[in-house]
Chains A and B, each alone.
Chain A
Amino acid sequence: MHQVWTWVFEPGLFASAPVRVAAVTGGVVAIVSAVTGVFTVMRGQSFGGHALGDVSAAGGSGALLAGLNPLVGFVGLGIAGAGVMDMIGVRRVRGRDLATGVVLGAAIGLSALFLYLEASSGATTGAPAQILFGSIFTVTSSTIPTVIALSAVALAAIAVAWRPLLLTTVSTDIAAARGTRVRLTGLLFMLALAVSVGLSSLAVGAILSTALLIGPAATALRLTRTVAWAVVAACLIGVGSTWLGILLAYDSYYWGASHQGLPVSFFIVAVIFAGYLLSGLLAARPAARRRPPVAPPAAAPASERVAA
């Protein structure tokens, strides 16, 4: 029994300060990403979320070059990018793709410039890997209060916009005809999205932030019938995947003879992806039971269509 325990939780796991900081930061970030992610998936703005990840990458590498905490750049430029995307037409479906693509391209260009300058100045090594693919074990405990404060901002924005977000997801025309403040609702959502992508850039890297944003949400939406339960499930999946990823990354140090730990971001993303695949199997099977008793025969259960 003890052997199994030490095999799962390799020695020093709970004593390690970087692991504890990573568990707290990763957990908080996973919750924010999951909540925002559910609305991102429902609104069909996954591509926008990904583009904001690239904007965050530019911000993070710029901040590193300027000698600032990357988190400042991740979130700062992310919010600016969200503002630009909103301005150049993120509210129209057709304009949205274009705006997103243009902003994404510009952001990657900026990242290339900043990371080149950073590398040639020779101040730090491994900056590209840290910005793009993250390294949650390098987060210091002094960052935790900032992470929590930013998380509170993002969650508050979603909570305030909750009902109008759902109504505009159903139909912007109905929402506008009811006198909903559609523009303000969209802006609040973009703020939450920018902050949560910035935070997950810190946890799993700017490029992989999409995985933490979309993965748990997409999995949860397969398994639940209401928005509230989808949010709860996405949080559990996000936090679980993050912690399991951290555990696996820590353990990986002991796997080979060479004692080289593998990147934590890889494990987190791998667990999320495995969960998504698994949910496809889970959702396909009990569909008949989850269907309401008198549902019309013509209607195919959602899960079947998703799995198809």
Chain B
Amino acid sequence: MSAQTAKASTTEVLTVEEVSVSLSGRQILQDVSFAVGAGQFTGLIGPNGAGKTTLLRVILGLQRPSTGTVEVPRTRRGPAVGYVPQKVLLDSDLPMRAKDLVALGIDGNRFGMPLPSKRRSEAVREMLHAVDAELFADARVGNLSGGEQQRVLIAHALISRPQLLLLDEPLANLDLRSGQEIVSLLARLATEQHVAVLLSAHEVNPLLPVMDRVVYLAGGRAASGTTEQVIQADVLTKLYGHHVDVLHVHGRILVVAGAEPGPGADLTAGHAVEVG
């Protein structure tokens, strides 16, 4: 069960209530409940296969929950939710410049051809500036590095001014430094663009400096709250269903399987080998 959502002083832009999902007989998510407040930065943390992607797809309306409800902000034109999926294959043959891809974020979902307009290109330029991607506005998206593509996709997602931005494992394929840059960019955007960020990751440490709240997923169940409330031995032990220790090393958090390291050992929340 979810840890008590502490002080919900801000208005909520996302409410997930008692959501369960089973896919072809397998229980992926079980009674997941949490809320995200306006402008908050929330980390969705959990090992691979914990159901992070499924949960994001439920929030986006791409996957129907078996039971439970999800409430997202809406405008007349549909959900006001931006989305950066984990795998976007931008082929270098694709004749699309960074600014073309961002422009598609304005009205790419509508029928008809785009008309060139000064206001559109100005909006695109501003958005690219906001994500520090002005320099490669005219480069083909397929030729950009992973971190640069990530910035362009974030600009694409934000240009329609959503209240909530979902990112699925944006750090998965980035080197440490690009990852840190993306994290601090997202933290800045959350304030500047007044958008709540919900970001999934299997590692909690890169998010520690910026995270307002954490939703921890393991075995299909979730615990949510502040980092101190959630990333604790007793909370995670309950979640994983076996003993788990939480170690603090130089401001970093390591989640390790307890006394007898058996088949249940889980080191995914912090890599002990990593030198920071």
> Given contacts A294-B135, A296-B136, A299-B143, are A163 and B107 in contact (CB under 8 A)?
yes
Whether B113 sits at the interface, judged by CB under 8 Å, is yes
Whether B109 sits at the interface, judged by CB under 8 Å, is yes
Question: How many residue pairs bridge A and B at CB < 8 Å?
Answer: 120
Shortest distance in angstroms between A279's beta carbon and chain B's nearest beta carbon?
13
Q: Interface residues of B: mostly helix, strand, loop or mixed?
A: loop
Asked if B78 and A178 sit within 8 Å, CB to CB, the answer is: yes
Assembled-state Cα–Cα distance A161/B111 (Å): 5
Asked if B145 and A296 sit within 8 Å, CB to CB, the answer is: yes
Chain B: interface residue total (CB-CB under 8 A): 42
Which of A208-216, A220-228, A250-258 is the contact stretch? A220-228
> Given contacts A162-B114, A294-B136, A299-B143, are A180 and B109 in contact (CB under 8 A)?
yes
Q: Interface residues of A: mostly helix, strand, loop or mixed?
A: helix
Which residues of B sit under 8 angstroms from A305, Cβ to Cβ? 92-93
Whether A174 sits at the interface, judged by CB under 8 Å, is yes
Chain A: interface residue total (CB-CB under 8 A): 41
Assembled-state Cα–Cα distance A170/B85 (Å): 11
What 0/1 readout, one digit per residue, does chain A (125-165) give for beta carbons within 8 Å of chain B?
00000000000000000000000000000000001111110
Residue of B nearest to A233 (CB): B95
> Given contacts A170-B101, A173-B85, A176-B62, are A42 and B94 in contact (CB under 8 A)?
yes
Whether A1 sits at the interface, judged by CB under 8 Å, is no
Shortest distance in angstroms between B109's beta carbon and chain A's nearest beta carbon?
4
Asked if A173 and B93 sit within 8 Å, CB to CB, the answer is: no
Residue of B nearest to A41 (CB): B93
A-B contact pairs, 8 of them (CB 8 A): A42-B94, A159-B112, A160-B112, A163-B110, A170-B104, A229-B95, A296-B136, A300-B92
| Interface of A toward B, CB cutoff 8 Å | 41-42, 159-164, 166-167, 169-171, 173-181, 221, 224-227, 229-230, 291-292, 294-296, 298-302, 305-306
